[in-house]
Amino acid sequence: MIVGIATLLTFQLVGEILAYETGGLVPGPVLGMALIAIALLTMAKWQRVQSTQSQTIATSKAILANLGILFIPAGVGIVKHIDVLVAHGLALLALIVVSTVITLAVTVWSFVLAKRIFGGASDE
Amino acid sequence: MSDGLWVYLATSPLLWLSGTLVIWIFATFLAGLRPGNPLFNPTLMSIVTIAAILYLTGIDYQRYFEGAQFIHFLLGPATVALGIPLYEKLALVRRNLLPMIVALTVGSLTAVGSTILLSEAFGFPQLITASLAPKSTTAAVAMAISESLAGDPSLTATVVVLTGICGAIVVTPMMNALGVRDYGARGFAVGLASHGIGTARAFAVNPVAGLFSGIAMGLNAIVTSIVVHLFL
């Protein structure tokens, strides 16, 4: 548990340092995500880090299983934007629906089309 | 409860931290009663409940956040944790590499581009446009992107949750109407457009759709954080 948290925080820290040094184009935690996937990939067979890996994976799964609670503190910040909601509520809702529908259609069509051209397999 | 006790508790982080946890537990219980209904989203129900409590009691957000920040802080490590499912599904990514790259690039550009175009068409101020731009990515990443664009992360968080719920509601009837039967493609689209809430929905419909949806969510977090800089 502690090892898992320490590992995740350390990767975030390294990500934040990289983000700072590269001008903040990609957020630090996102860089941390890419780095931890690469680290797992390259060190998968190292005996010495097996226990660290399994603890990190267990901690990650526990956090991801309860991801929804983490958005609450920021989401409640909507109380600071009641004026925005009153002024633009309907337009905001329309924007969300229209852009989500367009994104779904364009993404699914480009996936199907690319698969027809390049091939691919939808199994595990 | 005496007024003195309320004043004492309302100013302590303990009340709002424990309150957020208890309300979340109750919301997940309610959501479990209606598993097929995306409107019974525990995050949405908790946000609405707590916002209403703050509004009715006149407690300001800053005070609430002093307690809730301990939960908020975990968004960073949770984003890093998304690298684990990405690693575990690597074989699946490799086998579908080209379709995924094409759909990811086109889809991410569409998500961000359509949002910014619509926001400008509605005449929204720059602050709102910047807060909306990353709305298809998972909230932790969307908020970080919003902050880097000088948007408002709290507005972004709410819009991200609404986008997730919207995608989860429309995806199944819409894909059926479009005649798309490839569950990998359907899952990839919903994960890209509506992140974790869409992924939860995809897993409920079809396991392959769920896998592809989770992969799309992780990859889109990376790509969107780059793509937004092409527009804003």
pLDDT in tens, B167-179: 988 999 999 999 9
Same-domain status, B132 and B176: yes
Cβ–Cβ < 8 Å for A44, A36: no
Q: Residue B218 above 90 pLDDT?
A: no
Whether A1 has its CB under 8 Å from any CB of chain B: the answer is no
Q: Residue B122 above 90 pLDDT?
A: yes
> Which of residues A66 and A31 earns the better pLDDT score?
A31
Chain B neighbors of A12, CB-CB under 8 A: 76-77, 79-80
Q: Residue A123 above 60 pLDDT?
A: no
- Listed residues B19, B53, B73: the one ending a domain: B73
Q: What is the pLDDT of residue B125?
A: 92
- Separation between Cα atoms, residue B221 and residue B195, nearest integer Å: 9
Cβ–Cβ < 8 Å for B42, A70: no
Same-domain status, B159 and B66: no
**Per-residue burial over B154-171, b = 16 or more CB atoms within 10 Å of its CB, e = otherwise:** bbbbbbbbbbbbbbbbbb
Domain count, chain B: 2
Residue B203's alpha-carbon distances to A35, A82, B13, B151, in angstroms, are 26, 34, 36, 32
Do the chains contact at B71 and A69, CB–CB below 8 Å?
yes
Q: What is the pLDDT of residue B1?
A: 55
Q: Is the dihedral of CA A93, A94, A97, A99 positive or negative?
A: negative
Q: What is the pLDDT of residue B2?
A: 67
Q: What is the pLDDT of residue A110?
A: 97
Q: Is the dihedral of CA B25, A60, B133, A27 positive or negative?
A: positive
> Which of residues B118 and B75 earns the better pLDDT score?
B118
Domain residues for the domain of A60 are: 1-65
Provide the mean pLDDT of chain B: 90
Instruction: Write down the number of H helices and E strands in chain B.
Output: 13, 0
Average pLDDT over residues B202-228: 89
Same-domain status, B43 and B100: no
Same-domain status, B122 and B54: no
- Listed residues B52, B73, B94: the one ending a domain: B73
Average pLDDT over residues A33-60: 89
Same-domain status, B112 and B189: yes
Same-domain status, B48 and B139: no
- Listed residues A65, A85, A107: the one ending a domain: A65
Domain residues for the domain of B104 are: 80-231
Residue A72 within any structural domain of the chain = no
Cβ–Cβ < 8 Å for B144, B133: no
Chain B neighbors of A114, CB-CB under 8 A: 98-99, 101-103
Q: What is the pLDDT of residue A45?
A: 80
Of A5, A120, A123, the CB nearest to B98: A120
Average pLDDT over residues B200-206: 84
Q: Residue A12 above 70 pLDDT?
A: yes
Average pLDDT over residues B182-203: 92
Same-domain status, A1 and A61: yes
- Separation between Cα atoms, residue B87 and residue B103, nearest integer Å: 20
Q: Residue A124 above 50 pLDDT?
A: no
Same-domain status, B38 and B119: no
Chain A neighbors of B65, CB-CB under 8 A: 73, 76-77
Average pLDDT over residues B6-14: 82
Same-domain status, A86 and A58: no
Q: What is the DSSP letter of B74?
A: T
Domain count, chain A: 2
Q: What is the pLDDT of residue B197?
A: 84
> Which of residues B205 and A36 earns the better pLDDT score?
A36
